[in-house]
Amino acid sequence: MARRRNLLVPEAERGVSAFKAEVMRQEGYDVDPERPDDVKYEVAEELGIPLHPGGNGKLTTEEAGQVGGQIGGAMVREMIRMAQEKIARRE
């Protein structure tokens, strides 16, 4: 069963999508800014995971986690870098 996580502040969707696109572009992926979620297919291909638009019912939890972890991990690393940079400017 597919599950889509919703942001606590729905109005933030555009900003989060733009952030994802920018981070994944910095990671070397070809990201369409209008469809930043599509980068997951490129990440999956790089990892050798058979992710395709539509039904992915045979995908294991581990495989899905590898794709999401690659993307989410890059976003978290960038947020940490940004926070450290902001703290350093205050000192």
**With b meaning 16 or more CB within 10 Å and e meaning fewer, what string describes 67-80?**
beebbeebbeebee
Number of Cβ within 10 Å of residue 5's Cβ equals 4
- Distance, in Å, from the CA atom of 32 to the CA atom of 71, rounded to the nearest integer, reads 15
Mean pLDDT of 1-11: 72
Domain limits, the chain: 12-21+28-90
Condensed to tens digits (0 to 9), the pLDDT of residues 51-87 reads: 888 878 788 899 989 999 999 999 999 999 999 999 9
**Could you tell me how far CA 62 lies from the centroid of its own chain?**
16
Total-model pTM: 0.78
